[in-house]
Copies of this chain bind each other. A is one copy, B any other.
Amino acid sequence: MDSIDLRLIDLLRENARSSYAELARKVGLSAPAVHERVGKLEAAGTIRGYRADVDHEALGLGVTALIGIIEDSGADTDDVLTAVRAMPEVESCYFMAGVESYQLTVRVGTIAELEQLIVRINRTPGVASTRTAIALSTKWENRPQPGISS
């Protein structure tokens, strides 16, 4: 993990479909060398995968909301997690410090669907209550933080 690796990661976070040849030109190595480095980063789990970044509105998922979950005292936290995991609308899930055990990012098409989703989460065994905040607009998301690849 040297500065060239960091630079490769930066470049792939910027455009994951860059060709190895292009990456090689930018970091000043040969294509096979870059190929091997990227392969090692993938094998080590430093690079977990490559995702297309889509316009959710264009796909009919224009409503984004953040939902905090407060669990029942004595609830089995794994049950809640399993139930939430089965809901495809839940894009991200963090286990939090504080009163709200989980913080979810959810993505749905309409406010009505959001309402149904909240009801479903509240009905889940182990969930005491939820707190929902709706995003009016997304200023930016998943902005890559550049590594210090001097």
Contacts and interface: CB of A to CB of B under 8 A. Distances in A.
B44 A97 contact: no
Interface residues of A, number: 58
Contact of A13 (B52, B89, B93, B137): B52
A108 B7 CA distance: 19
Interface stretch (A26-34, A56-64, A120-128): A56-64
Interface string A94-120: 111110101100010000000000000
A47 B53 contact: yes
Interface of A: 1, 6, 9, 12-17, 44-55, 58-59, 61, 64, 66, 81, 85, 88-98, 100, 102-103, 107, 133-147
